[in-house]
Structures are given as C-alpha cells and as structure tokens.
C-alpha cells in the first residue's frame, strides 16, 4: 500500500512521532510469513545471551531473515493497459511460450516475461494487473535451478489467472527454485486484486513468469532489473 503524500506547505515536524515515521519510511516492513523465521533466532539469542557466539549468530540470522522477508511499499503506475513486474529481480526471458496447461489458455505460444529472483531480492509477489482472480492452481514438481528454461515446465509452481476490466486474461506463475521449497499464494478465486497488490511469496530463490494475451507489446529487456509493482513490462492490446 502506498503512503499518502504530504500536502504542500505542511510544516516539518520535529516530534518523536515524526522521527518514528521517518524510520518506518526507511525500514521496509516485514511480510507476516517471515515472522517465525525472525522470532525463532531471536528466541535463541535470548536463551543464549550469556554466550557471545550464540547471541551474535542468532541475531545475524534474525537480521538476514528480516531482510529476506522485507515487504517494501510500492506505488504502481496509473496508466491504462500497462502490466507491471510481479516481482523484484532480473528479466531472464522475453519470449513466447505455451502457458501452463492447468490454466486452460490454449496450446498456442503467448508472449511471456520471466523474472529470476536471487536470495537477495524482495521475495513477495504482486499482481501484474488489476483484475478478478479466475483460477489458482498449485502443481507439485521438481526443484531445478529457477534460472533454467525447463524450470517453467517441471518445477513446482502455483499458477494464477487474472481477468482484467478490459477483457484480457493475464497469467502469473510462481515457480519454485533450487532452494525454494515453499510457495505462498494468498489469492483465491473470486478475489479482485488491484494492480501491484501483494498476493504471495516464494521462500529462498525462485522465478515468476507472466503470460500475456496475443498482441501485447512487451517492454521488458533480457537482463533488465525490475522493481515489483512499479516497473512496466508490457502494454496490453
């Protein structure tokens, strides 16, 4: 959710509350799925506080998990017909491919943009378009490295189909990777998602594919870095 801008002419506050707001604005909040991964090492740090190496190791682990599960605020564009990146990462593929069979989108190749997430990237997934969720299908599979082309077909995945107000179907597929062993998808059939809204998360290295209707203009370039919910990767027909 985007923060509201400060109206012009508003005097700058020097109160403690203002300082707290500045800290909140600089430090991304934590996704709820990351709470157990942060609280567990913090508990170890408390229990082992008399042992320096235990305390330091546990605090380092808690900080690393907090960084991995960070959930920064993003402001999506308001232009009609744009598709935003569903994840932070590097564009690995800009091509055409047959969508996952479970989505029933046909057997003809459709435009696709694939984004690879390293363990250092923000790992929440965001809706690439605004629309109604018409399908959500989880399919078990392998755990090949997510940067391999075959990962789209054989790895464990969660596929979601969105129907926009303009009548277009856009699919976004969360794909597990070599280290990713857990895909979280909070969206359900019948939900209406605004563009850029957070709907899921993949733990520890992964990939996200987006499939577009025929005639879509792809704007992403291979090797480009994307910012989830903000980077425009395509223009719908």
Q: Provide the token pair at 28.
A: 């991304």
Write down the domain spans for the chain. 27-69, 82-235
For residue 155, what pLDDT band results from cuts at 50, 70 and 90?
confident
Return d(Cα 158, Cα 174) in angstroms, integer.
5
What SS3 state is found at 165? coil
Closest CA to 122 of 146, 147, 87: 87
- How many C-beta neighbours within 10 Å does residue 82 have? 17
Per-residue pLDDT reduced to its tens digit, 8-29: 455 555 566 545 454 454 466 7
Catalytic (active-site) positions = 206
Full strand arrangement of the beta sheet holding 183-185: 124-126, 198-202, 183-185
Q: How big is the chain by its Cα radius of gyration, in Å?
A: 20
Q: Which residue has the higher pLDDT, 108 or 183?
A: 108
Task: Report the 3 state secondary structure along 205-222.
Answer: CEEEEEECCCCCEECCCC
Q: Could you tell me the pTM of the whole model?
A: 0.78
The CATH code for residues 82-235 is 2.70.70.10
């Amino acid at each position: 959710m985007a923060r509201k801008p400060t109206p012009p002419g508003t005097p700058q506050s020097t109160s403690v509350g203002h300082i707290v707001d500045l800290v909140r604005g600089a430090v991304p909040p934590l996704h709820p799925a990351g709470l157990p991964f942060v609280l567990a090492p913090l508990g170890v740090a408390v229990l082992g506080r008399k042992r320096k190496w235990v305390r330091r190791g546990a605090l380092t682990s808690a900080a690393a998990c907090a960084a991995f599960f960070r959930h920064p605020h993003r402001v999506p564009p308001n232009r009609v017909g744009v598709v935003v990146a569903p994840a932070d990462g590097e564009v690995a593929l800009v091509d055409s491919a047959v969508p996952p069979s479970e989505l029933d989108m046909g057997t003809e190749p459709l435009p696709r943009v694939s984004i690879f997430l390293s363990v250092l990237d923000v790992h929440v997934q965001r809706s690439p378009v605004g629309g109604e969720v018409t399908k959500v299908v989880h399919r078990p599979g392998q755990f090949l490295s997510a940067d391999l082309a075959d990962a789209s077909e054989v790895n464990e995945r969660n596929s979601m189909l969105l129907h926009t107000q303009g009548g277009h179907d856009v699919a976004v597929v969360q794909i597990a990777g070599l280290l990713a062993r857990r895909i979280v998808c909070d969206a359900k059939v019948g939900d209406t998602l605004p563009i850029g809204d957070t709907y899921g998360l993949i733990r520890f290295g992964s990939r996200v594919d987006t499939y577009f209707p025929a005639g879509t203009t792809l704007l992403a370039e291979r090797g480009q870095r994307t910012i989830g919910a903000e980077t425009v990767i395509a223009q719908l027909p």
